[in-house]
Structure 1
Amino acid sequence: MLNKELFIKKCTETDVDDILSLQKDVIDHLVDKSVLRCNTKEMFIHCVKEPNLTLGVYHNNSLIALSIFVDEKGTAEDLSINIKKDDNDVCANFKLVMVKDKYRGMHLQINLMWILERYAYENGYTKLCTTVSPDNKYSLSNIEKSSYKFEMEVKKYGGLNRYLYVKDIKSFNQVWNDNLLAQLNNYIKKNEMLEFNLENYYNGQENILYNGDIVEYKNKNNDKLYGIYFKKNNQPMICIFDKNNQRVRITKFTKTINEYQISHYYISGF
């Protein structure tokens, strides 16, 4: 299966029943049920409300994976109360990733973590905290691969043993963003056309676009333009690769370019 067959969207309260069904399916397939906390409907309703972000991954209109970012400041759910932090740190929880059994092995967990991380960075957060069961080897591996650092062992969720991990994101993403802008400026300087391997990217919504994502424009003749989305001084921009005119250019992000209109958004981590 290609990533392109999957669609990522921001979940709302209308998706909560699908989320509960996914949770049941995931827990039913676990040998050790204690490695995953069973969340209530009320908790998921909370998780889809801003500033929280719940992302759903759909295949053939069926929810097959989920990731959740939550700001729990001032509540018992705030994981940052257990860690050392600077006065100017703004912390939140990387709460949860769930993936249906038959879709495991597609790197969905790591990719969803990355999408939540960039959302957190763009909204001014500096640290993300998460817990994982010591017996959840798959999640432990992905968390460590994603540069989360072990902080301590804690008792959570009614006395369950959990490892607490923290990731400092305030500088990590700035370096990545600076490198992206430097790359785009280099493409313009050389007038270099790119070939986009869209099979590696996910279809997604405009409201989760971030620096490095790819936008496809199409005209009535099905001719296509591709652009790399980014923000400069908080202004949405796009670097357009126009093969017809053999020109690379940067312009303000719009849904229409001449006779071309957006047909797809690709969540890429370019």
Structure 2
Amino acid sequence: MDLEIAGRTALITGAAGGIGRHTAAALLDEGVTVVMSDQSADDLEEARAWLGERRSVPVLIAQDLSTDAAAVELAAKVAEQVGDIDILVNGAGITGATGAFHEISDDDWVEAITTNLLSAVRVTRALLPALRRGGWGRIVYVNSEDAVQPYDDELPYCASKAGLLSFAKGLSRSYADEGLLVNSVSPAFINTPMTDAMMEKRADEKGTDMDGAIDSFLDEERPYMELGRRGLPEEVASVIAFLCSERASFVNGSNYRVDSGSVATL
């Protein structure tokens, strides 16, 4: 299917991760100019090598997004290298501290909220003038099932993602009449470096291998994932690419769950 976005320009944050690089691949295949941003220049170079020969080579910008000044700096670098963007995919995020509520400190909460919510707010604010100038735009926030189905051992992550979901829904009302549409994608247990780290920790705790850790996690923690496996990052990226496209011209303020049924409510 032609997504009718050839010639558009996109910025992806958190682009070196599994979902980010697959989203870059999907957009590059549609003829989009792609800027990939993440904290580590080395990770970005590895992601570019993974992409291989595509229609165009992505622009790489290493940038920490822990402050508003850093987000403004990212926007300036993007403008200098590619001009205005049409598409913003906010994929930067961390799992953060896990465990019992009484074991989690203020600093743990601040880290999760700063990375998962405030970095998206800052980048959106910094790139908003560019997104509004074209009369056509797309913003997609990579969220999580945890935004609507929280787990008691991941509370900082869950709360930060719930805040991001609320932010995205509210923002979708602000600029839609200018052609700027805002949506979210909420994956569950995708095969990425983030969940690899979770499963390696679980394997150590349970004295098993990765496969055993994944199987027990699905049985004990995610019983509603009816397909009985981790999702693939490209399965998330395909939904993100659709929401970035002209084909999603009447989709605004939505949250698309890519979760194999993990969320147990409507």
What's the TM-score bracket when you normalise by the shorter of the two chains?
under 0.3
Q: TM-score, normalised by structure 2?
A: 0.26
Larger RCO (CA within 8 A; separation ≥ 6): 2
Q: TM-score, normalised by structure 1?
A: 0.26
